[in-house]
Structure 1
Amino acid sequence: MSLKLYYWNTPNGHKPVILLEELGVPYEVVPIDIGRGAQFTPDFLRISPNNKIPALEDETTGSPVRLFESGAILTYLADKHRRFLPAEGPQRYRALQWLFWQVGGLGPMAGQTHHFVRYAPEPVPYAIDRYVRETTRLYRVLDGALAHEDWIAGEYSIADIAIYPWVAEHELQRQNLVDFPNLARWFARMQARPAVQRAYARAEELLGALHASFDAEARVCLFRART
């Protein structure tokens, strides 16, 4: 009986690792090298038909649970262990709205920023400007929500866990946290959490410099694009 997390060193990949470290439950990490096409293997596609990480396989229950999509994985684990997401009532939906905000807004927009700033074969000024500006707007939304709160939904929750790995890449997104003082204070609180530190240390231990490899093969695997 085991709990397996299929993972690579990306913002979405970090989310469930942080939560599992917060929960303190045993789990196994299965690296999926997305720069070498491991996400397209039949075994992985049976768990994650959208060929994306992370994915989860939980065989600690009576009937195995297989999930893809980081938001679904966070919700499942939080509900299963009854931590970091209220079971019912307004506070539950307050946390879930910010989780959905991250998976539907911050992640996709910041991800496009990453692509056009770092990975596009040639600069596309219009795209860079569009996505950096939209990421800035989303940071302002976060900064406003944190003006009178320590945590995004009032209490520490999977919403904070989902948002943090994307804000951790703020420099790549051409964002300066000095411009968002409430967000900066939240970011420092997140950085100081032992579970967050363990999650990032585990990523380095598992993958080392592998996640930094980016060549023609990786470009094809990640973007289906040839140069």
Structure 2
Amino acid sequence: MIDVYTAATPNGHKIHIMLEECGLPYRVHPINIGEGDQFKPEFLAISPNNKIPAIVDADGPDGKPISLFESGAILVYLASKAGKFLGDTDRQKFVTLQWLMFQMGGVGPMLGQAHHFRIYAPEKIEYAVNRYTNEAKRLYGVIDKQLSNNAYLAGDEYTIADIATFPWLRSWKNQGVELAEFPNVKRWFDELSERPAVKRGVEVLASAQKPLTDDKAREMLFGKAQYAKH
């Protein structure tokens, strides 16, 4: 059994979708990031960077429990455990990891900044809004070009690169993007949206999701609490 410490965010949804796709048994432990659950000692013990998601697998690679944080690392671990969605050859694996790193290093951080300055920032800073909105559009363009010649990000097969990227693109409106301007992305996005495991994955904890715009949530996510020594 895999214990998943998570919330209904793009990074959380990556892991929910992957577990549903693989059919691995799991239990969900909600982490209310607006209330500061991410700073509790028991969570920091498995996720020292105070970010969701994190997992504890009672049946680790050597038969002993293993805990992991960082959504990309968790995806690689689950793909290895299940023997799915990473590629069958070394070439396929490296191409998949390439696009997974693209999501981890570019899509997630840059679209996250677009969300912050467009939605959450207490003041609208035109330079920041423009910078990250333009970067979001640039990244969509990179993805659109890749998908113009490939069914999926890493080629002809659905992989953890797609699973990692899809949840971040669900909020395209908040990023200042018109999906219709990227037809290959839209084709891919619409296809993935209809996958049964994807539908189940994005519903995990969705009913418990609350807007992170009140004063306490802002403090937990963007204020002194985030930078205090825990």
TM > 0.5 fold call? yes
Q: Report the equivalent of 2:19.
A: 20
Q: TM-score, normalised by structure 1?
A: 0.95
Q: Report the equivalent of 2:93.
A: 92
* Shift in alpha-carbon separation, 1:28–1:186, aligned structure 2, 3 A: same
Moved more, 168-177 or 81-90: 81-90
- Percent identical pairs in the alignment equals 50
Please give the alpha-carbon distance, in whole angstroms, between the structure 1 residues aligned to 2:91 and 2:29. Answer: 36
Please give the alpha-carbon distance, in whole angstroms, between the structure 2 residues aligned to 1:68 and 1:213. Answer: 22
Question: Match for 1:187: what amino acid?
Answer: F
Question: Match for 2:112: what amino acid?
Answer: G
Please give the alpha-carbon distance, in whole angstroms, between the structure 1 residues aligned to 2:161 and 2:205. Answer: 21
Task: Give deviations 1:177-207, integer Å, cap 9, x for gaps.
Answer: 11000010000011010001011223324x2
Q: Report the equivalent of 2:127.
A: 126
Please give the alpha-carbon distance, in whole angstroms, between the structure 1 residues aligned to 2:224 and 2:52. Answer: 19
Question: Match for 1:178: what amino acid?
Answer: A
Q: Report the equivalent of 1:217.
A: 216
Task: Give deviations 1:109-146, integer Å, cap 9, x for gaps.
Answer: 00000000010001000000000001110000000000
Please give the alpha-carbon distance, in whole angstroms, between the structure 2 residues aligned to 1:179 and 1:93. Answer: 30
Please give the alpha-carbon distance, in whole angstroms, between the structure 1 residues aligned to 2:120 and 2:79. Answer: 34
Please give the alpha-carbon distance, in whole angstroms, between the structure 1 residues aligned to 2:151 and 2:50. Answer: 35
Q: Report the equivalent of 2:167.
A: 165
SS state at 2:213 partner: coil
Q: Report the equivalent of 1:80.
A: 81
State whether residues 12 and 70 of structure 1, in contact with CA within 8 Å, keep that contact through their aligned partners in structure 2.
Answer: yes
Q: Which runs of 5+ in 1 are unaligned?
A: none
Question: Match for 1:172: what amino acid?
Answer: N
CA RMSD of aligned residues (A): 1.2
Q: Report the equivalent of 2:150.
A: 149
SS state at 1:212 partner: coil
Task: Give deviations 1:22-71, integer Å, cap 9, x for gaps.
Answer: 01121001000000000000000000000000001000231111000000
Question: Match for 1:63: what amino acid?
Answer: K
Q: 4+ residue runs of structure 1 moved beyond 4 angstroms?
A: none
* Shift in alpha-carbon separation, 1:120–1:225, aligned structure 2, 3 A: farther
Question: Match for 1:17: what amino acid?
Answer: H
Question: Match for 2:11: what amino acid?
Answer: N
Q: Report the equivalent of 1:47.
A: 46
Aligned pairs (5 A) from 1:131-142: 131-142=132-143
Question: Match for 2:221: what amino acid?
Answer: L
Deviation at 1:172, TM superposition (A): 0.4
State whether residues 219 and 225 of structure 1, in contact with CA within 8 Å, keep that contact through their aligned partners in structure 2.
Answer: no
Question: Match for 1:75: what amino acid?
Answer: V
Q: Report the equivalent of 1:58.
A: 57
